[in-house]
Structure 1
Amino acid sequence: MRTDLVVALDIGGTKIAGALVDAGGRIVVRAQRATPAREDGETVMGAVAAVVAELAGSPLWASASAVGIGSAGPVDASTGTVSPVNVPGWRDFPLVERVHRATGGLPVTLVGDGVAMTAAEHWQGAARGHDNALCLVVSTGVGGGLVLDGRVHPGPTGNAGHIGHMSVDLDGESCACGGRGCVEQIASGPNIARRALGNGWRPGPDGDASAAAVAAAARAGDPVAVASFARAAQALAAGIAATATLVEIDIAVIGGGVAGAGPVLFDPLRRSLRSYATLSFVQNLTVVPALTGTDAGLLGAAAAATPRTGIPGAVSTSP
């Protein structure tokens, strides 16, 4: 019987994905549910349990020896709890304990989704071979993680590098986190779409008002859509430059659904970055798309639970 599998859970505001992943980073079984993000905490946990149950139905389940979770944040890896900004029903929710029980007692390791994506990109993606990097997830929210001195650096609670709640507009709008002018409040997909709609952009006949639809309009030259992405790019550039100045990263890797906009996002981002990253030791900072795609969260969660590729400082709990 094989013994090289881990259970990986990627929990966000839109979907809850699960997989059995082998030591080489290959996903051998998948499961997924929509996140009932506006429901109560037990309903959200029910969706997680359904994903676990589907994976447990595989004959390969018996080969899984541990669980890794990458969750929307903030998380507290030291206590095994999560309080995602975009899942209001979870506040100090004991996710590690609940998943430990749902998986029949497997040891569970928790990290933030940004740290998970960072681990995936450093293991198999665009940050591979870089000793100092910032990796970002730009999607329903904006998360991030750091690689410092060649190792993923989650911080004491698993939130280090959480660029989404760095303030880049001191007089900006209030954010769901309680702050003001956060990167997420400007650059996340829903906020890109909200800003475009507020400034006069209108969806096509299909009624699609998502950030992806705004990106399509921007590619077609719609000035309002172009401006909405430019504003998001400026916020990301300000956050990336501030991070680079603080810890001397040499590459920023951007994944998540919004990164799928391609040049509509990356061209103004690189232009804005030249205006913010001006000191000599950050002028050579590069920005590239992530390579691990929609599997980044799962691969990073697997890395957190795998001793050989694990994340230093991540807390594994077996209640």
Structure 2
Amino acid sequence: MHNDLVAALDIGGTKIAGALVDGSGGIHARAQRPTPAREDGETVMGAVAAVLGELRRSPHWLRVAAVGIGSAGPVDASAGAVSPVNIPGWRGFPLVDRVRRATGGLPVELVGDGVAMTAAEHWQGAARGYDNALCMVVSTGVGGGLVLGGRLHPGPTGNAGHIGHISVDLDGDLCPCGSRGCVERIASGPNIARRALEEGWRPGEDGDATAAAVAAAAAAGDPVAAASFERAAQALAAAIAATATLVEIRIAVIGGGVAGAGEVLFAPLRRALQDYARLSFVQGLVVAPALTGTDAGLLGAAAAVSPRLRGGAAATAAG
């Protein structure tokens, strides 16, 4: 029996998901637990151990060669530690060592969740066939990752491509990260909703004041809701164009809950890119919605482990 599976973990503030993933992206077992995000670090680790324990009971576990982890960040891959903003009990938590011990000494690879999504999209999604790509998660926060020269580029700590904290408004609002005018402060779901409410938009009878409700109102013709999405699209376009100018990406892939707004987001984003991506070598940049959906974190955690898993995406490179 070949050791041809990766045990993948997708760790976020809401859930801890696990799966056994093969070299074609097939999933052979799954496990999931809610994240006890407000509990102490050992309680959170207990949920991770429970997911791993369930996977280890699968008859396929004997085929597992390594473990891949995609975690909410910041992460420090060089130290094997995580400090997710939305899991306060984990600050410098030695996750790689603890997972290695929980799996009997298997090799463990750690990347940030934005990098994991990027690995998934390059392997199985919209960035497949591109050598140079930026992939973004636009949701409660804004994260991302890079593919450069046909290879995932996580950087020394596993955070490269964290585009949400590029400043696009020098005199903008103070961001929780400590900077001003960050993309995340303008384009994340909660901030799209916040801006719409501040400008006079009001939710319907159901009281739904989320970005999804703002998107629905924008699609129905509400000018204030549409303006909030246009502002978010402008911030994303400025950051994407800056990234393309710096490293010559050929495609920007956008996933996450806010991308679910569809053309409410993508139409003004493509228009704004025409204003920001002016140099000849960044014109013609492709913008596309992500394709890997809710399994992106698991597929990406698996792909980050093994270059063999990513080989198919680079084989027909177009970018």
TM-score, normalization: structure 2?
A: 0.91
SS in 2 for 1:68: strand
Per-residue deviation at 1:22? 1.0
Residue 255 of structure 1 corresponds to which residue in structure 2? 255
Give 1:231's aligned amino acid.
Answer: R
Residue 54 of structure 1 corresponds to which residue in structure 2? 54
Aligned pairs for 1:31-180 within 5 A: 31-180=31-180
SS in 2 for 1:288: strand
SS in 1 for 2:68: strand
Is 1:216 aligned with 2:216?
yes
Over 3 Å counting, the alpha-carbon distance change for 1:30 and 1:206 in structure 2 is: farther
CA RMSD of aligned residues (A): 1.9
Residue 28 of structure 2 corresponds to which residue in structure 1? 28
Once structures 1 and 2 are overlaid, which stretch shifts more, 167-176 or 236-245? 167-176
Once structures 1 and 2 are overlaid, which stretch shifts more, 83-92 or 291-300? 83-92
Over 3 Å counting, the alpha-carbon distance change for 1:42 and 1:286 in structure 2 is: same
- CA displacement 1:61-119 (0-9 Å, x = unmatched): 23222110111222111100112233333221111112222333322100111111111
Give 2:69's aligned amino acid.
Answer: I
Per-residue deviation at 1:190? 2.0
Per-residue deviation at 1:137? 1.0
SS in 2 for 1:89: coil
Over 3 Å counting, the alpha-carbon distance change for 1:98 and 1:34 in structure 2 is: same
1:143, 1:286 → 2: CA distance?
Answer: 19
SS in 1 for 2:79: coil
- CA displacement 1:166-200 (0-9 Å, x = unmatched): 11111222222222211112111222222223333
1:86 and 1:141 in contact (8 A); partners too: no
- CA displacement 1:231-261 (0-9 Å, x = unmatched): 1111111110110010111111111111111
Per-residue deviation at 1:302? 0.4
Over 3 Å counting, the alpha-carbon distance change for 1:47 and 1:193 in structure 2 is: farther
1:103, 1:221 → 2: CA distance?
Answer: 53
SS in 1 for 2:9: strand
Per-residue deviation at 1:46? 3.0
Give 1:31's aligned amino acid.
Answer: A
Per-residue deviation at 1:295? 1.2
Report which of the two has the higher share of helix: 2
SS in 1 for 2:140: coil
Once structures 1 and 2 are overlaid, which stretch shifts more, 129-138 or 86-95? 86-95
Give 1:129's aligned amino acid.
Answer: G
Per-residue deviation at 1:43? 3.3
Give 2:126's aligned amino acid.
Answer: A
Is 1:6 aligned with 2:6?
yes
Per-residue deviation at 1:310? 5.8
The count of aligned residue pairs is 311
1:208, 1:54 → 2: CA distance?
Answer: 37
1:145 and 1:162 in contact (8 A); partners too: yes
1:14 and 1:140 in contact (8 A); partners too: no
Once structures 1 and 2 are overlaid, which stretch shifts more, 243-252 or 300-309? 300-309
1:13 and 1:140 in contact (8 A); partners too: no
Per-residue deviation at 1:52? 2.1
- CA displacement 1:286-306 (0-9 Å, x = unmatched): 111111112111111001222
Residue 301 of structure 1 corresponds to which residue in structure 2? 301
Residue 317 of structure 1 corresponds to which residue in structure 2? none
Is 1:18 aligned with 2:18?
yes
Once structures 1 and 2 are overlaid, which stretch shifts more, 247-256 or 59-68? 59-68
Per-residue deviation at 1:207? 3.1
Per-residue deviation at 1:262? 0.6
2:76, 2:129 → 1: CA distance?
Answer: 28
1:115, 1:49 → 2: CA distance?
Answer: 23
Q: Which runs of 5+ in 1 are unaligned?
A: 312-319
Q: Which runs of 5+ in 2 are unaligned?
A: 312-319
Residue 287 of structure 2 corresponds to which residue in structure 1? 287
Over 3 Å counting, the alpha-carbon distance change for 1:220 and 1:260 in structure 2 is: same
